[in-house]
Structure formats: structure tokens, C-alpha cells
Chain A
Amino acid sequence: GAGVSQSPSNKVTEKGKDVELRCDPISGHTALYWYRQSLGQGLEFLIYFQGNSAPDKSGLPSDRFSAERTGGSVSTLTIQRTQQEDSAVYLCASSPSLNEQFFGPGTRLTVL
């Protein structure tokens, strides 16, 4: 595809369940980023990948959050034992350069 894609677009889950969010970056973009955005708020950085490695995991809010990237392409963000405070829009971005990031449409996660 031409842009960053994310799936699912919406996810409703029960508290305590695990969820997996997927991001397909733009082909050729080596850097991939995950952010979280609560309603009306700014972007909270979670993690980024350069290739398949994640040099910085400090943004992950707890050990319930993990992410991986395989083949330098698709990335998954996994949230275990979801809590209501995890409800937010999870945005993925990929980058071809140091200055510009291309964002996907996001996954809206609702934890009941």
C-alpha cells in the first residue's frame, strides 16, 4: 500500500484480556514508531525500531507492554492483561529520514 496501515482499526476488549495491534509501515522505511494518544491529548512515545531492533524501550508504560518487528517490516504491539487506563488510540509511524514521520490511521482500543 501507499501509506502506513494499522489493524484492527477498532478493538474493544475486556479488562484482563491480551490484545495485539499490528502495523505495516511504508515499504523501505527502516524506522518504525509506536505512540499512544488519549482523547484530546498529545502523543505519548512508546517505542521505536531501527530495522528489527528497538534501541529504546523506555517509553513503554509497563511490563505488560511489548513490541516486536520482524523482517524489518511488520510490527506488533502487544498489551497483556489490559487495564481500563490502556484505552487510547495507538498510532504507528514509519520514517524514511531523520525529519519526517508518516503516521498510520491508528487503532482505537477500548478496554471495558
Chain B
Amino acid sequence: GQSLEQPSEVTAVEGAIVQINCTYQTSGFYGLSWYQQHDGGAPTFLSYNALDGLEETGRFSSFLSRSDSYGYLLLQELQMKDSASYFCAVRDPWGSGNTPLVFGKGTRLSVIA
């Protein structure tokens, strides 16, 4: 089975930088994804890391270290609209083709003025 750990809540100031960590325990591993979900909305895809290192997409970056079973999502120049829940997810190694994702419980980010 798989388990993912991420902080339940994080608060940060508008304009600042925040890092949301995710550690995972899996029997196998294909990649780490991040999703954003605003209250009442559906999750939307942010990023995917299959290899070690940093992936940057605008204000958001995602990092993966497979040897440490660890990744993080970095949000820069925080805006009020970034207040949402952020989920890390691991691709399950069994099956083939489009295998399902196992999601963490989510980190609720609150951006304050």
C-alpha cells in the first residue's frame, strides 16, 4: 500500500514564499503530482515530477527526491487567490496504462494580508 504525509494547514503572508512538503511510503513509485483545490471546486492539476529535481511553472515549483521519498510544492509571490487546499499524489505502480493516483489528505493554505 501507499501512504502520503503532508501538513494539514499552512498560513503565509501575501507576497511571501511558502513550501508544502510531502513524504510518501510506497512499494513502488512512478511519480509525484500536485493538485490545487479551492473551496467548493474540483482539484486541478499543477505539476508532475517523475525524476529528481525541480520543475518550475510560473510562480509554482515542485521538487522531488526519490532517494528521500520526499517532495515539495513551492509557491512564490503568494496571492490571496492561492488560498486553497493542495494535495500531493503518487502514481500507484500496479496495473498498467493509466494507473490511479493515491492522494494525500491535503494541506490547507491560508494567505493573509
Contacts and interface: CB of A to CB of B under 8 A. Distances in A.
B98 A31 contact: yes
B41 interface: yes
B100 A42 contact: no
Contact of A48 (B31, B50, B98): B98
A91 B100 contact: no
Contact of B42 (A30, A55, A98, A104): A104
Main DSSP-derived SS at the B contact region: loop
A47 to B, nearest CB: 9
A66 B41 CA distance: 25
Contacts of A95: 98
B44 A103 contact: yes
Contact of A56 (B31, B95, B104): B95
A100 B48 contact: yes
Contacts of A55: 95-96
Contacts of A65: none
Contacts, number: 60
Contact of A105 (B41, B100, B104, B106): B41
A70 interface: no
Given A30-B98, A50-B97, A55-B95, A42 B48 contact: no
A106 B97 CA distance: 24
B100 to A, nearest CB: 5
Nearest to B30: A98
A62 interface: no
A100 B98 contact: no
B5 to A, nearest CB: 11
Contact of B100 (A45, A99, A102): A45
Given A48-B98, A98-B30, 11 more contacts: A30-B98, A31-B97, A41-B105, A41-B106, A43-B101, A91-B42, A98-B98, A101-B101, A103-B44, A104-B42, A105-B42
Of all A-B residue pairs in the complex, the 7 with the closest CB atoms, nearest first, are A31-B98, A103-B42, A42-B105, A43-B103, A99-B48, A100-B45, A42-B103
